């Protein structure tokens, strides 16, 4: 995604037993996707910097402590209490209904701008910059929805972080 992200929201929908993930960009595009428990179980390690199947570090050129500090800094700077506001006249490049996420693809991991693609089984998906700041924000947003879902998935490093944590 080349547009800058303006807002991100993840809400648990009990009737669907899925998390509705929404984001809209500065360029007035809105993307919506359903995240299932199975998909989130694979996504969590990827957001924490580990390959979902092997557990190996995905991007090797960054020191883990530096990565964690950048994630936490991004989380602290975000306004997570402000409700998601969908402005009028948003474009929906993936369609008006949410896509069902089924796979993820890592691109350009050795390059200057690595990417994570969240994709349905067929068709276009959501392209995100794979950087510590954004991954940290996604973890924080998804952790709130995960708490309501009660899916018993482990997000220990994120859920145990106190709300008033400060970087020194």
Confidence at residue 83, expressed as pLDDT on a 0 to 100 scale: 60
CA–CA distance, 143 with 139 (Å, rounded to integer): 6
Confidence at residue 40, expressed as pLDDT on a 0 to 100 scale: 95
Tokens 């910097």 correspond to: 49
Tokens 């957001």 correspond to: 47
Structure tokens at 46: 């990827």
Q: Which residues of the chain have pLDDT under 70?
A: 1-3, 60-87, 154-168
pTM of the prediction?
A: 0.75
Eight-state DSSP code of residue 29: B
Helix (H) or strand (E) holding 101, with range, is strand 99-107
3-state SS class at 81: coil
CA–CA distance, 102 with 167 (Å, rounded to integer): 36
* Beta strands 126-129 and 115-120, pairing class: antiparallel
Give the distance from CA 135 to its chain's centroid: 6
For the chain, the 3-state helix, strand and coil shares in percent, each to the nearest 5, are 30, 25, 45
Confidence at residue 27, expressed as pLDDT on a 0 to 100 scale: 85
3-state SS class at 18: strand
Confidence at residue 55, expressed as pLDDT on a 0 to 100 scale: 73
Confidence at residue 25, expressed as pLDDT on a 0 to 100 scale: 86
Confidence at residue 163, expressed as pLDDT on a 0 to 100 scale: 40
Compute the residue count for the chain. 168
Confidence at residue 58, expressed as pLDDT on a 0 to 100 scale: 78
Confidence at residue 87, expressed as pLDDT on a 0 to 100 scale: 62
* Residues facing residue 126 across a β-bridge: 118
Tokens 């500090």 correspond to: 69
């Amino acid at each position: 995604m080349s547009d800058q992200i303006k807002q991100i929201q993840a809400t648990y929908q009990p009737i669907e037993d899925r998390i509705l993930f929404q984001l809209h960009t500065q360029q007035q595009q809105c993307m919506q996707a359903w995240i299932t428990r199975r998909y989130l179980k694979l996504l969590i390690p990827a957001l924490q910097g580990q390959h979902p199947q092997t557990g190996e570090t995905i991007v090797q050129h960054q020191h883990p402590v530096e990565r964690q500090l950048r994630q936490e800094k991004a989380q602290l700077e975000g306004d997570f209490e402000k409700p998601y506001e969908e402005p009028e006249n948003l474009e929906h490049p993936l369609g008006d209904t949410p896509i069902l996420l089924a796979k993820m693809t890592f691109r350009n991991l050795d390059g200057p701008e690595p990417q994570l693609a969240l994709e349905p089984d067929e068709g276009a998906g959501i392209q995100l910059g794979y950087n510590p700041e954004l991954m940290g924000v996604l973890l924080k947003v998804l952790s709130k929805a995960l708490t309501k879902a009660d899916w018993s998935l482990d997000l220990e490093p994120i859920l145990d972080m106190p709300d008033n944590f400060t970087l020194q």
